Structure formats: C-alpha cells, structure tokens
C-alpha cells in the first residue's frame, strides 16, 4: 500500500514576493521589524494550499468565468498578489499604530481573505435582498447564450478594447460604423453594466461589423465620437513597468524607492529597523494620528484610529482605497455631488442603496458639495483643513483646474498627504485615453496574461485593476503617512491602474492549458483538483479510472456520473484534495465553511451611521436611508431639503442588513 504524502502546505511564494517588493518601496527600515504571516486558507475551513484552489473555492473562477458561462481560472496569481498587498498594508499600519502610541506587534492575512476581498462588490450584489437580483441572474444566463465575452477583432487582425462611458459616445461610435438601431439598443445596457455584472452579452452584429473593417477605420470612428479604443497587447509582459506608486514633496521632486526587507521579525537582519521611533512621537495636536495609550495586543484601537481622510472619488478604485483606510481605523469623509453619487441607485439594492456601493462605502460620512462651484470647492478646502489625507481619482488636470491640487490644499494644511489615483499616471502623455479597468488590462498585457495561449487575449470582466488600483493607492497613502511622520512635511502620492497592473507577477509566455487546467464538470457542479493531487497522476487514475486520466472525453463523461460531494469524498479517501468550485456567491455566503470569513453588512459598528460630527459648510440634512438616483445614468435628482453643497449623512443604513461582505482582511496581534 502506498503511504499518503505528508500534508505540508507550501508558503504562498507569490504573495511574499509581492509584499517584499512593496515594502522595499516604502523606504522605512522599521518595516523589517514587523513580523507578518500570509496563510492560504484562514479563516475558510477548506484544505486550500495553492492559488487555483483558492480561486475555485472563493468565487474568483465564478466571477471571471461568468462571461463564458462556466467557472474559469485566472492564469495569474491574482489572489496571492492581493494577499501580498494586504500584508504590506498591514506592516505599514502596524508601524503607524506604534507611532501613535499603540502596541500592535504583528499582522496576519491569507490568500483566501484576499480572494474574498477582491470579490467584495460581487458578493454584496449576489446576496442583496432588495430589487435587481433577478435581473442580474438573467444577465448571467444571456451572457452564456450569446457566446460570452470575446475580443473585437478587425479585418486586419487587430484585437481591440472599446470604452464609451456614456450613451452618446456609444451611439456616435457605432453609427459611424453602420450598426443597426436594434444592435445599438440591445448592446448598450450590457456594455454599460459590464463593470458591475462581469458579463457583456453583445449582439453578434457588432462583432461581424468590426470584423469587416480595418483598425484605422475603427480608430477614426472612436476619435470622432469621443470613444476610446486600444489594441489588446498580445504579450503578457507589461509594455511599461511603472513603479507601483511615487511619493514626492509638495512643490516638486519625487521620493526615491527604499530598500527595505520584507520578512524579518524581531532579531532578524534589520530588527528594530535602525530607525529611531519615539513612542507617541506624532501625537501633537492636529496631526490627526493622536490617541492615548493602547490596550493589550489585538484589543486596542485599530492602527489608523485618529487619522482623518477626505475622499472625492467614484466607481471602484478610489472608493476602495478609502474603504481600506477606513477598515484600518481611519475616519473617512466622502465628498459626493448634490443628490449623491449616481452609483447609489445601481441595482441590486440593499435597503435603499446599491449593494455594490454600500460594500465599499458603508461607514463613511458623506458631505455633498458641487466642486464645479466656488462654494463646493470652499467646502473641500475646509474639510481638508484638519485632515491627514485627501484622496481623489479625478480625470487628469481636474484638480489643478479647480485649484484643489496638492500645492493648493497643502497651503492650508502643510502636513497633508495628497493622493491621486489615476488610470494611466503620466506614462501615456497629457491626454491619455480614459483610464478604465478594461482598457488598462488590454494595454498592460494583463488581458493576455490571465488567459491561456490558445485563447485570443481579452480583458477579464472581473475588475482586476480597479481592485488592485484601490489597494495599491491605499498602500501608497500608508507609505506617505510614514514619510510625513519622519519629515513633518506634506507628501504628494501618485498611483494608477496601470502601475497597479504591473504588480501582478507575469509569466514570460502565456500559459498552455490541458484538460486538468479547467474545473471538472460533475453531475451537479464543478470540482477543482488541487496542485498537490495533480502531482500524483497514478493515484488520480486509481480514483477516476485509467482511461479518464488520459482521455479528455472519457474524463468529462466519468466526472458527470457523480456529484461534486461524491467526487470530493472519493478523492479524499485516496488522500487527494479536490475543492468544490463556488458557482454561486449567494450560496458561498451561507456555506458553514465560510462562516468565519464573511459577515452580514449593515450599520457600521464603530459609529452611529448618519451622525455628523461637523459640517463646515453650514447645517445640512442627515439622512442615511436616503436612496440614490433611480438609475446609474441619472445624476440630477434633487437632494430633498438639503442645503446645496452642505448635505451630510452616513453612508450606511442603520436598520438594513441586506448584503454579505468579507470580514476585515487583516488580524493585528
């Protein structure tokens, strides 16, 4: 009898490599004195010990594969990359917590926590109890019926990605190419909502149309209509390799990268960091990081307690950065236009607000201000007058045009961290294409990297760079707060979707997949055979039969003869790990194996939602239950009785528990 192999789980090397790279850029030797740990599964109660198993169990395969109608792996270590960023954030947060008088000792995260965090919005939408859930299910079915998401390919063989952020540009682009009114009508809604649904069942007429035209014609139509098109890079290696972020003093210059070491606990090579950190050394009044003392390890305030962040952001990248800072303990004040962010009305709803919106914005205080007016800009300046961080993801040049750039705001707050989360940074010149997730995936090579070699490169409709962009921006803000603590000066922070995409480790060539590199369809679902099991082909053959182990058709037939649970048990009896693939995020939320990994979203436990502690622009209306506009395209609804530029409310709904979210992705011990 063959003995079972030892159950030794390898370290998530990709996650540690990403964390090491980011901590080297922080330029704080003290980071080497903060131990951190990255697990595979914790707190998910499943035997997860490799990237693809985590993707299978935690919903990444489900979301990425929606457009194709079947769960599909990402061909890069995406969950491990997110885990590495989370670990670096945790290390920096520990240092900031110590500086403020607390005593956090170390931080812990996991690849499974990272995977669940990356599908936060999709999990919220799948578990929302309000209007719109059934419509989303219908979109998933239609996506499969239309053949899934595929690249636009021109007559001269150029695969390209299209972006049109409003209906006027969409219509202008396709009308110039000769599309029918029916195709324009049927295509706009799934195209507009693909960021939220991860599906895009476009009429086949549109693909046939561009297939008969050269790319030069396509590009000219985009230029005349205000849409944007970019060729999809065929090489998985990034065309540019920008640093994940840059820090610089306000008024010019750029801080160079550091040379920190990632995993060196007390007594390690750089234990203590070689830096002199005064206990409570930044507790001066007005610094925004002041707090008294600290309780026992793991029981005291969160590391960023006392930090005040003002954000003026939209969509995913910017709100997610603010969400991360809030989860670390910061107070976040969100500036929204009069009537509220249009995304509040996007279905499905959780209570009176979009579940997706709430997933990234619950717990933030909201001030409505029209920054196109002098009064609105004055509100922003007053809000940042005692803030630690101002965060925005406006279009290039907008901050300078409104005189809300770093030099402008730091004149009134000389220690402000001014962070811009852009699409492209400055690498594509002063007038780049619109900086959205899918265009960045196309241009950066990530679209090629996430799919196997036999498929035409096309961006994943899971918002990979939006999530990473928000995480990298938050990490850059943490690094800037450490620089400010050392220098006492304001810091300018620049990060982008493109720079975040470069954080993902890439293969030199695109992956070549066989039948075992996709989830196996069972009688009632899908199953993923773990990496360790696939390294024992003889034992796998004993379970499924020798014919099925060598023939893809026989494998498909054999797997369909039993349920996922039955196959999981058979593999387990042979000492092999097989992971059930999550094909419905709503079911994941009620799976007892995920009980410690997710929680019901509702009122922020740290504050009374809807309670305003200040309102610099004058008295406003506090109304946390107030819904957003009825559709995502509407942004003109009047804010009830709110004073223009001054309505303030909490983002959460105190009585609503209408969606599920992942637990906080770090443990501070």
Calculate ∠ Cα 484-489-494, nearest 5°: 70
DSSP assignment of 6-73 = P--PPP-HHHHHHHHHHHHHH--GGGGGS-EEEESSTTS-S---SHHHHHHHTTHHHHHHGGGTS---
| Secondary structure class of 608 (helix, strand, coil) | coil
HSE-CB for 276 with a 13 A CA cutoff: 1
> What would you report as the CA-atom Rg of the chain, rounded to the nearest whole angstrom?
25
CA–CA distance, 646 with 651 (Å, rounded to integer): 15
- Are the C-beta atoms of residues 305 and 291 closer than 8 Å to each other? yes
Which residue among the candidates 42, 287, 437, 466 is catalytic per the annotation?
466
Residue 512, Cβ density class (10 Å: 0-12 exposed, 13-18 middle, ≥19 buried) = exposed
| Secondary structure class of 352 (helix, strand, coil) | coil
| Secondary structure class of 104 (helix, strand, coil) | coil
Instruction: State which H helix or E strand residue 77 sits in.
Output: none
Beta strands in 149-217 (DSSP E): 152-153, 159-163
Q: For 656-667, what is the HEC assignment?
A: CCCEEEECCCCE
Nearest Cα neighbor of 333 from 650, 108, 21, 2 is 650
CA–CA distance, 666 with 669 (Å, rounded to integer): 10
CA 542 to chain centre: 41
Residues 6+ apart with CB under 8 A from 420: 392, 393, 394, 399, 492, 493, 494, 495
| Cis preceding linkage at 348, omega within 30 | yes
Specify whether 408 is catalytic.
Answer: no
Q: Indicate the pairing of strand 36-39 with strand 107-110.
A: parallel
| Numbers of helices and strands, H then E, in the chain | 27, 21
- 469-508: string of b/e by CB count within 10 Å (b at 16+)? bbbbbbbbbbbbbbbbbbeeebbbbbbbbbbbbbbbbbee
Name the β-bridge partners of 37. Answer: 108
- 184-207: string of b/e by CB count within 10 Å (b at 16+)? bebbbebbbbbbbbbbbbbbeebe
Active-site residues: which are they? Answer: 466
């Amino acid at each position: 009898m063959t003995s079972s192999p030892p159950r030794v789980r390898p370290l998530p090397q990709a996650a540690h490599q990403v964390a090491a790279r980011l901590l080297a850029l922080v330029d704080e030797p003290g980071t080497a004195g903060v131990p951190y740990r990255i697990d595979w599964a914790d707190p998910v109660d499943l035997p997860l010990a490799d990237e693809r198993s985590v993707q299978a169990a935690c919903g990444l395969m489900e979301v990425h594969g929606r457009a194709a109608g079947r769960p599909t792996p990402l061909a890069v270590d995406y969950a491990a990359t997110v885990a590495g960023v989370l670990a670096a954030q945790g290390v920096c947060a520990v240092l900031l917590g110590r500086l403020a008088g607390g005593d956090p000792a170390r931080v812990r995260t996991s690849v499974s926590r990272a995977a669940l965090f990356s599908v936060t919005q999709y999990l919220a939408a799948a578990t929302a109890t309000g209007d719109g859930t059934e419509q989303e299910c219908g979109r998933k079915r239609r996506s499969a019926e239309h053949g899934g998401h595929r690249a636009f390919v021109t007559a001269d063989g150029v695969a390209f990605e299209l972006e049109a952020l409003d209906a006027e540009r969409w219509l202008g682009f396709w009308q110039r190419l000769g599309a029918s009114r029916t195709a324009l009508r049927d295509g706009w809604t799934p195209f507009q909502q693909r960021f939220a649904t991860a599906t895009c069942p476009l009429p086949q007429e549109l693909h046939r149309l561009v297939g008969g035209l050269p790319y030069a014609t396509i590009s000219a139509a985009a230029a005349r209509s205000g849409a944007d098109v970019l060729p999809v890079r065929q090489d998985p290696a990034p065309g540019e390799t920008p640093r994940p972020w840059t820090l610089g003093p306000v008024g010019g210059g750029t801080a160079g990268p550091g040379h920190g070491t990632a995993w060196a606990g007390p007594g390690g090579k750089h234990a203590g960091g070689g830096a002199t950190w005064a206990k409570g050394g930044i507790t001066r009044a007005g610094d925004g990081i002041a707090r008294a003392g600290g309780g026992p390890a793991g029981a005291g305030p969160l590391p960023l307690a006392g930090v005040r962040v003002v954000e003026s952001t939209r969509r995913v990248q910017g709100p997610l950065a603010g969400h991360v800072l809030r989860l670390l303990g910061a107070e976040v004040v969100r500036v929204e236009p009069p009537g509220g962010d249009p995304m509040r009305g996007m279905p499905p709803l959780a209570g009176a607000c979009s579940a997706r919106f709430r997933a990234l914005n619950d717990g933030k205080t909201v001030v409505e201000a029209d920054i196109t007016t002098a009064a609105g800009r004055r509100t922003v300046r007053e809000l940042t007058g005692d803030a630690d961080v101002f965060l925005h993801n406006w279009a290039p040049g907008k901050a300078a045009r409104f005189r809300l750039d770093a030099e402008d705001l730091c004149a009134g707050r000389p220690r402000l961290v001014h962070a811009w989360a852009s699409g492209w940074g400055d690498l594509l010149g002063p007038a780049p294409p619109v900086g959205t997730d899918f265009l960045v995936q196309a241009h950066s090579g990530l679209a090629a990297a996430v799919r196997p070699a036999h498929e035409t490169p096309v961006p994943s409709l899971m918002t990979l760079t939006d999530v990473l962009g928000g995480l990298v921006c938050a990490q850059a803000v943490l690094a800037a707060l450490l620089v400010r603590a050392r220098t006492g000066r304001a810091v300018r922070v620049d990060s982008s979707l493109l720079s975040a995409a470069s954080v993902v480790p890439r293969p030199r060539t695109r992956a070549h997949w066989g039948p075992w590199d996709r989830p196996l369809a069972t009688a009632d679902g899908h199953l993923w055979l773990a990496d360790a099991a696939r390294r024992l082909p003889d034992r796998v053959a004993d379970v499924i039969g020798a014919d099925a182990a060598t023939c893809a058709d026989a494998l498909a037939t054999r797997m369909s003869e039993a349920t996922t649970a039955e196959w999981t048990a058979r593999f387990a009896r042979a000492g092999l790990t097989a992971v059930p693939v999550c094909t419905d995020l709503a079911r994941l939320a009620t799976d007892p194996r995920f009980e410690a990994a997710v929680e019901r979203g509702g009122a922020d436990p740290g504050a009374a939602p809807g309670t305003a502690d200040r309102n610099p622009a004058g008295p406003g209306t506090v109304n946390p239950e107030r819904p957003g506009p009825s559709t995502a395209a509407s942004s003109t609804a009047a804010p009830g009785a709110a004073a223009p530029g001054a309505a303030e409310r909490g983002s959460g709904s105190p009585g609503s528990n209408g969606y599920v979210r992942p637990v906080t992705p770090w443990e501070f011990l």
